[in-house]
Amino acid sequence: MSSALTDLLLHPIVQAPMAGGVSVPQLAAAVSEAGGLGFLAAGYKTADGMYQEIKQLRSLTARPFGVNVFMPQPEYAESGAVEVYAHQLAGEAAWYETELGDPDSGRDDGFDAKLAVLLDNPVPVVSFHFGVPSPEVFDSLRRAGTCTLVTATTAEEARAVERAGADAVIAQGVEAGGHQGTHRDVPENDGAGIGLLSLVAQIREAVDIPVVAAGGIMRGSQIAAVLAAGASAAQLGTAFLATPESGAHAVHKQALTNPLFTHTELTRAFSGRPGRGLVNRFLREHGPYAPAAYPDVHHLTSPLRKAAAKAGDAQGMALWAGQGHRLARALPAAELVEVLAAELDAARTALSAKGGLGGPGRLGGRR
Q: How confident is the model at residue 356 (pLDDT cuts 50, 70, 90)?
A: low
CA-to-CA separations, 342 to 30, 223, 345, in angstroms, rounded: 17, 11, 5
Which DSSP category does 234 fall into? Answer: E
pLDDT score recorded for residue 359: 41
Residues 6+ apart with CB under 8 A from 128: 68, 69, 70, 71, 148, 149, 150, 151, 166
Q: How confident is the model at residue 360 (pLDDT cuts 50, 70, 90)?
A: very low
pLDDT score recorded for residue 219: 98
Determine the straight-line distance between the first and last CA of the chain, rounded to whole angstroms: 12
In 16-96, the DSSP E strands lie at 38-41, 65-70
Q: Which of 222-236, 303-317, 348-362 has the lowest mean pLDDT?
A: 348-362
pLDDT score recorded for residue 276: 98
Residues 6+ apart with CB under 8 A from 60: 25, 26, 29, 33
pLDDT score recorded for residue 179: 98
* Mean pLDDT computed over every residue of the chain: 94
Pairing of the two strands 211-214 and 168-172 = parallel
The b/e string for 14-33 (b: 16+ C-beta within 10 A; e otherwise) is bbbbbbbebbbbbbbbbbbb
pLDDT score recorded for residue 3: 65
pLDDT of 365 > 60? The answer is: no
Stretch 222-229: mean pLDDT = 97
